[in-house]
């Protein structure tokens, strides 16, 4: 058995263990069965310090605004992605070492004027019924819907230009945004002028994704503390679920989610076992 096969088998064993662990949702379902179900969203003194399940309409107390760009976003949570047009070293037999410019999702360095613009989650103060929501709990609200509805006047006042593409809409402080990978020394014509791609090195572009569920209906589980639903990592489960769930529905969802996670882990484990077998066969043939 070669070294590569051993690594594949170890990974497969770890994934198999993860799969079996995922099926054990008894702790989470026990937490759900003992939690206080607050269907009307009322903050009651007798529930202070207890685990509560609160379904309802998730609403922003204040608008969700990116203070850097001025962009106002729907919902209570969004993700800002910042990419930089980076110089990348390449090499091949024909050309040797050469350089290209490519968009990379990296944190910008401190050596340029855009160092304050980094990829980050954006969160507004939010509530369900009478409860406000802990930011750590809000991080469990799924995001994934590309944001395209920019207010051109607002972003223009901040010095940004909107750049729609087929899949993502970006804003940047560039009038012209390079489309993708380009040779470092290449040029193109833009508005009747020759444009050097190298002039755009390290320039950033920004995009956003917002809440995946447009209905705004969620169910939160966490500890009631001073009128707030607090995320409790000791519960061993996420704090936010799409849709309005009663305790029975929530328990069923947790159990089904555990099984899905197990199936995925077991499928990956089988894949790595197959890689190990193929690696051993290849060694024998050689």
The 3-state secondary structure of 52-104, one letter per residue:
EEEEEEEEECCCEECCCCCCEECCCEEEEEEEEEEEEEEEECCCEEEEEEEEE
Question: What number is the average pLDDT over the span 44-68?
Answer: 94
Give the mean model confidence (pLDDT) for residues 104-122. 66
Please provide residue 269's backbone torsions phi and psi, each rounded to the nearest 5 degrees: -60, -45
Among the listed residues 134, 166, 128, 109, the one whose alpha carbon sits nearest the alpha carbon of residue 40: 128
What pLDDT shows up at residue 212?
Answer: 87
Residue 149: pLDDT over 60: yes
The 3-state DSSP class for residue 29 equals: helix
Task: Check whether 129 has a pLDDT greater than 70.
Answer: yes
Q: How far apart are CA 228 and CA 36, in angstroms?
A: 14
Pairwise CA distance, residues 134 & 177, whole Å: 38
Where residue 171 falls among pLDDT bands split at 50, 70, 90? very high
pLDDT higher at 103 or 25: 103
Q: Which residue has the tokens 């972003």?
A: 155
- Whether residue 201 has pLDDT greater than 70: yes
In this predicted structure, which of 14-18, 166-170, 260-264 has the lowest mean pLDDT?
260-264
Q: What is the DSSP string of 135-169?
A: HHHHTTS-EEEEP----HHHHHHTT-EEEE-SS-E
pLDDT at position 252 over 90: no
Strand partners, 53: 37, 221
| Per-residue pLDDT at 180 | 84
Phi, psi torsion values for 49, nearest 5 degrees: 85, -5
pLDDT band at 109 (very low <50, low <70, confident <90, very high): very low
* Residue 111 confidence (pLDDT) above 50: no
d(C-alpha 144, C-alpha 162), whole Å: 20
Residue 24 has pLDDT above 60, yes or no: no
- Report d(CA 77, CA 11) in Å as an integer: 35
- Any idea what DSSP says for residue 50? S
Residue 29: its pLDDT value, please? 79
- Please state the separation of Cα 128 from the chain's center in Å: 23
This prediction's pTM: 0.76
Residue 38 has pLDDT above 90, yes or no: yes
Using CA atoms, how far apart are residues 172 and 193, in angstroms rounded to an integer?
Answer: 20
Q: What is the pLDDT of residue 138?
A: 95
Mean per-residue pLDDT, 90-99: 86
Q: Alpha carbon 103 to chain centroid distance?
A: 19
Q: What is the pLDDT of residue 266?
A: 66
Q: Is the pLDDT of residue 169 over 90?
A: yes
Residue 70 pLDDT greater than 70, yes or no: yes
pLDDT value at residue 258? 54
What's the distance, CA 232 to chain centroid?
Answer: 20
280 three-class SS: helix
Residue 237: per-residue pLDDT = 86
- pLDDT band at 112; cut points 50, 70, 90: very low
In the structure encoding, which two tokens stand for residue 23, read together?
Answer: 């099926």
């Amino acid at each position: 058995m070669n070294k590569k096969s051993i690594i594949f088998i170890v990974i497969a064993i770890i994934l198999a263990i993860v799969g079996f662990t995922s099926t054990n949702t008894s702790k989470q379902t026990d937490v759900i069965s003992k939690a206080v179900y607050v269907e009307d969203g009322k903050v009651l003194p007798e529930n202070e310090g207890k685990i509560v399940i609160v379904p309802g309409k998730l609403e922003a107390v204040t608008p969700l605004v990116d203070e850097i760009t001025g962009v106002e976003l729907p919902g209570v949570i969004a993700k800002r992605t910042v990419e930089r047009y980076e110089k990348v070293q390449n090499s091949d037999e024909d050309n040797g070492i050469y350089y290209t410019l490519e968009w990379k999702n990296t944190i910008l360095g401190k050596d340029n004027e855009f160092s304050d613009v980094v990829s980050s989650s954006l969160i507004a103060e939010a509530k369900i019924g009478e409860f406000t929501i802990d930011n750590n709990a809000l991080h469990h609200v799924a995001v994934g819907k590309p944001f395209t509805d920019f207010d051109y006047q607002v972003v223009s006042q901040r010095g940004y230009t909107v750049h729609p593409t087929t899949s993502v809409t970006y804003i940047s402080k560039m009038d012209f945004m390079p489309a993708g990978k380009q040779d470092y020394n290449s040029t193109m014509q833009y508005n009747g002028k020759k444009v050097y791609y190298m002039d755009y090195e390290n320039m950033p572009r920004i995009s956003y994704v917002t809440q995946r569920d447009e209905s705004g209906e969620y169910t939160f589980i966490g500890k009631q503390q001073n009128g707030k639903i607090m995320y409790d990592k000791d519960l061993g489960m996420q704090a936010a679920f799409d849709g309005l769930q009663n305790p029975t529905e929530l328990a069923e969802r947790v159990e089904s989610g555990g099984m899905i996670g197990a199936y995925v882990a077991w499928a990956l484990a089988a894949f790595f076992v197959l890689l190990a077998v193929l690696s051993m066969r290849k060694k024998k043939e050689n």
